[in-house]
Amino acid sequence: MKAVVLLSGGLDSSTVLYQAKAEGYECYAISFDYQQRHRRELEAAKAIANCVGVKEHRVVSFDLRQWGGSALTDDALDLPEHRAIDQMSETIPITYVPARNTIFLSFGLSYAEAMGAERVYVGVNALDYSGYPDCRPDYIEAMQRVFELGTKQGRQGQAIQIVAPLINLKKTEIINIGNQLGVPWEKTWSCYTGGEVACAVCDSCRLRLAAFEELGLKDVLSYKVGSEQ
């Protein structure tokens, strides 16, 4: 059995890769260099892929800075900092990258069909990132229909399945699953900034730190000294 796993190198996608491996799939990881501010995550993706022992790890490169539209692809836009977690899902944040998951899933689908894979795993989560329109269950359901209608495999009744096992889980639940699977958190990367040390104040860092704290665990990732956590 073969599966393609969309791997950013973050906490969620790394957990999904380990889960796909534990479910008996031969895993083919695919990561994306879209000239994002936080390209540091690609180092984490490579490290996680090596740890779990994927069959192949591909990095697809393209440049979304050309039209910007997100604080992750336009350095002129400031990243949100120190935001209260309960406010993060009130509006679609400036860190939303236009149609990013549609682009990623399209590459994943093409890769999966070319190699005859049965599944495409993705680590989207609707609870912690409910402001993002392309992390919600109705979006995944719609993309599954695209998988069925837009491929030879799908038209022949053998559609590739999108598997989003974390979509309705809290971050604390994801960490618990990752702990059971042995995900090396110190090799993952969640921070939106482009530094070598996580900032602790962007939305992604704050969500991650809060989840570890809620569980009474220490996040082993290194954070900038003096940051407000």
Annotated binding site for Zn(2+): 191, 199, 202, 205
Binding residues for ATP: 7-17
| C-alpha count within 13 angstroms, C-beta hemisphere, residue 72 | 23
Q: Nearest-CA neighbor of 1 among 33, 27, 36, 37?
A: 27
Write out the two tokens for 133: 């329109």
Binding residues: 7-17, 191, 199, 202, 205
Q: Nearest-CA neighbor of 192 among 75, 91, 98, 62?
A: 75
CA dihedral of 154, 156, 157, 161, whole degrees rounded to 10? -30
In this structure, what DSSP letter does residue 185 have? Answer: G
Max CA distance (Å), the chain? 57
Q: Report helix angle 100-115 to 137-149, nearest 10.
A: 40
In this structure, what DSSP letter does residue 118 have? Answer: S
Listing DSSP states for 39-103 in one string gives: TTHHHHHHHHHHHHT-SEEEEEE--GGGT--STTT-TTSPPPBS--GGGTTSS--TTPPTTHHHH
Q: How far apart, in whole angstroms, are the C-alpha atoms of residue 65 and residue 27?
A: 30
